[in-house]
Every structure is written in C-alpha cells, then in structure tokens.
Amino acid sequence: QKEVEQDPGPLSVPEGAIVSLNCTYSNSAFQYFMWYRQYSRKGPELLMYTYSSGNKEDGRFTAQVDKSSKYISLFIRDSQPSDSATYLCAMSSGGYQKVTFGTGTKLQVIP
C-alpha cells in the first residue's frame, strides 16, 4: 500500500464548477499537508499548506484536513480553464523530513 493515494483522473469539469480533489494517507506521523499545481513541463507551484486538522481558505481554494480519517481535500470554486493542470497532494511529518507526494490528479476545465 502506498503511503499516499490519489486518484490520477483525468477529471473533466465545465467552467464555473466546484472541483473536489482528494488524497488519503496511511502514515499517522504526517502533520503538514500541501497542495501543488503543476503545469506540463514546469515545476510544482505551491497553492497552500496546512498544519494538522482543519480548514484553510485562500481565494478560490479551500484545503481541508481530517486526520482522524487520514483524508485531505482541495476544493476549487468557480473553476477556470487556466486551472487545467495536474494537482499534487504532499505531506510531511515536520522538521526537514522528506515530503511524500501523491501521484497527482489531472484536471481539465472545459470552457
């Protein structure tokens, strides 16, 4: 079993839809949870990170962490064609420990 599971998609939605992206994990030591957006042939771009359980909002993006269920989500409101990319979840136990990534979900927002 992988430490982090993420549905690879692809996920196609119409412009303006609410997008829900999810990851599950097995390592209870993970404390920090990150979401990245990666365009083709580019490095990942940090969208947001959260510590422990709870919600965090930044513009059209909302990240949720449920440590009891080992489940994290990223919601994108009013999705735009420019949001079309691969979204990676990532986790760390803290300090300068390595970051473990999900496989990424490819999202396509159709105009």
Partner 1 sequence: GAVVSQHPSWVICKSGTSVKIECRSLDFQATTMFWYRQFPKQSLMLMATSNEGSKATYEQGVEKDKFLINHASLTLSTLTVTSAHPEDSSFYICSARPGPDNYGYTFGSGTRLTVV
> What burial letters (b/e) apply to 39-63, b meaning 16+ CB within 10 Å?
eeeeebeebbebeeeeeeeeeebbb
Task: For residue 96, state whether it binds partner 1 (rule: CB under 8 A).
Answer: yes
Task: For residue 48, state whether it binds partner 1 (rule: CB under 8 A).
Answer: yes
Residues sharing a CB contact under 8 Å with residue 103, sequence separation 6 or more, in sequence order: 6, 8
Task: For residue 44, state whether it binds partner 1 (rule: CB under 8 A).
Answer: yes
Task: For residue 46, state whether it binds partner 1 (rule: CB under 8 A).
Answer: yes
What's the min distance (Å) between Cβ of 42 and partner 1?
A: 6
Residues that bind partner 1 (CB under 8 A): 32, 34, 36, 41-46, 48-49, 51, 88, 90, 92, 94, 96, 98-99, 101-104
